[in-house]
Copies of this chain bind each other. A is one copy, B any other.
Amino acid sequence: MMDEVREFKILRVTEEGRCEVEDVVAREFPFTIILDDQELVTMLCTPKDLKYLAVGFLSSEGLIQNKEEIRKIILDERRGVVRVETEGDRGEATDLIFKRLITSGCGSGASFYRAADTLNQEKVKSEMKVSAGDIFALAKVFQQSSQIYRETHGVHSAALCDNKNILIFTEDIGRHNAIDKIFGRCTLEDIPTNDRMVISSGRISSEVILKIARRNIPIVISKSTPTDLAVDLAIRLGVTLIGFVRGKKMNVYTESWRVIGD
């Protein structure tokens, strides 16, 4: 088990004066994913649920479809490296992701656009409904669940829920990583995502909607707000997008028929 936080001696300055105190800071851990002997990426993340993160990332990138394709996962926590070995020849698929990375480019934490991916995505199929009261209750439990956040105020969290319960809860310095950790675990442990909801502490961008829709998840909830492209995409993919959940108030941006009275 690796430490997810680190202590530093810092100077605390207030109107009353200044004093040296111990403060706890979220870790930013370089983590390299090697897929079938090819070094794919080094990402910065919270060193927790690293196997889930690796599998979730590969799944989000379209490099693996299901657990059966994975032959072995060798995690070296100390060195920050995971080797994922898959069945069959992935040479082509890996070349493909490299090409896409080149085409779409990338940058220091910037978000990049995948117009083609959104066009090929099918609409979410689900008759799931949820009551406003259940959403308020889940959002409250969600907010109280983050251990690292309470200690550092420096991480995002995400959860997979049904109408009444949080089924999986994850934390990471990156909002996308937290969601990938959920889906990596779902892949490895055969946890179904149909008729489930995702709660995220982060802003809902178009890329989050795309990730959610790929798992056929009909409802996404955030205390933060969405962007306009996220709203457009949620309309097109039939996702119920709920934002700005604070106390007993929320905004339902799309597909509001899924939110019913108590």
User: Which residues on A are within 8 Å of B, measured CB to CB?
Assistant: 5-6, 8, 10-15, 18, 23, 25-28, 30, 40-45, 57, 60-61, 98, 101-102, 104-115, 132, 152-154, 173-177, 203, 205-207, 211, 224-231, 244, 248-253, 256, 259
B203 contacts A173, C-beta separation under 8 Å? yes
Residues in chain B near residue A227, CB distance under 8 A: 25-28, 44, 154, 173
Q: Are A249 and B111 in contact (CB under 8 A)?
A: no
Contact call B111/A11, Cβ cutoff below 8 A:
no
Complex: A15 Cα to B132 Cα, angstroms: 9
Q: Which of B41, B105, B115, B206 contacts A28 (CB 8 A)?
A: B206
Sorted nearest first, the 9 A-B pairs with minimum C-beta distance are A106-B106, A41-B105, A28-B227, A154-B225, A28-B229, A11-B252, A11-B256, A6-B228, A44-B111
Q: Say yes or no: A226 contacts B154, CB within 8 Å.
A: yes
Are B57 and A107 neighbours in the complex by a CB distance under 8 Å?
Answer: yes
- B105 near A108 with CB under 8 A, answer no
CB < 8 Å: which of B10, B102, B111, B253 contacts A251?
B10
Chain B residue, CB-CB nearest to A153: B225
Q: Please give, as numbers and ranges, the residues of chain B lying within 8 Å of A12 by CB-CB distance.
A: 249-252
Q: Would you give 27 A-B contacts (Cβ < 8 Å), ordered by A?
A: A10-B251, A11-B251, A11-B252, A11-B256, A11-B259, A13-B249, A13-B251, A13-B259, A14-B249, A27-B229, A28-B111, A28-B205, A41-B107, A43-B113, A44-B110, A44-B111, A44-B229, A60-B107, A61-B107, A102-B102, A105-B106, A106-B112, A108-B114, A108-B207, A109-B112, A153-B224, A154-B225
Residues of chain B with a CB closer than 8 A to A112's CB: 41-44, 106, 108-109
